[in-house]
Amino acid sequence: MKVLGTLTIVAFVVGLVTAIVLGLTSWHIDQDINGWKDRAQVSMEPTDMVTYLTNVKNGMQKWGMTSGNAALFFPTPETDMALIYKSVNQHIATAESLVAMDRSSIQYSAGLNNLGNRISELDLHAFQYWANHQGLLINIFCWVGWILFVVFGAWWLVASV
């Protein structure tokens, strides 16, 4: 009986600690990558877009998201990090070309609007990539911890009745 209680508490601690690690890592990835993408998307200044998209690119490099696939199973071109990284670089080049354009031209307005729309459609799959590669072991421990917590907890409750 005492062993079941101990196992339940250990499984709870493992699940809780790994969930906290996953949450904090998700927040850091969001700050380093997705937050900058969102700023670039709403920016109406091409120089700011270049800066923000460069920060996205640097965040992807920092977290090792320049190649590979974000999907653990069933990879698709949509989750191919090399293609996503290439798209970010193309968006940076487009924003740099907008910087050199005449701001009163129709091409500038259309290009700025078009770039904002393309950035909004860009799904970076940043946390998914991390959770399926560098964070896979932590992810597994989190799920195992919570599953064992439920199993041992239910067993402990049934055994104590």
pLDDT tens-digit series, residues 109-146: 999 999 999 999 999 999 999 999 888 888 888 888 88
pTM to 2 decimal places: 0.83
Distance CA 91, CA 54 (A): 10
Closest of 75, 56, 74 to residue 66, by C-alpha = 56
User: How many Cβ atoms sit within 10 Å of the Cβ of residue 132?
Assistant: 19
pLDDT at res. 77: 94
| 79: DSSP letter | G
For residue 129, report the phi and psi dihedrals to the nearest 5 degrees. -60, -50
Residue 131 carries which side chain, given as an amino acid letter?
A
In a domain, 53, yes or no: yes
78-93: pLDDT as tens digits = 999 999 999 999 999 9
Whole domain around residue 64: which residue ranges? 47-141
Report how many domains make up the chain: 1
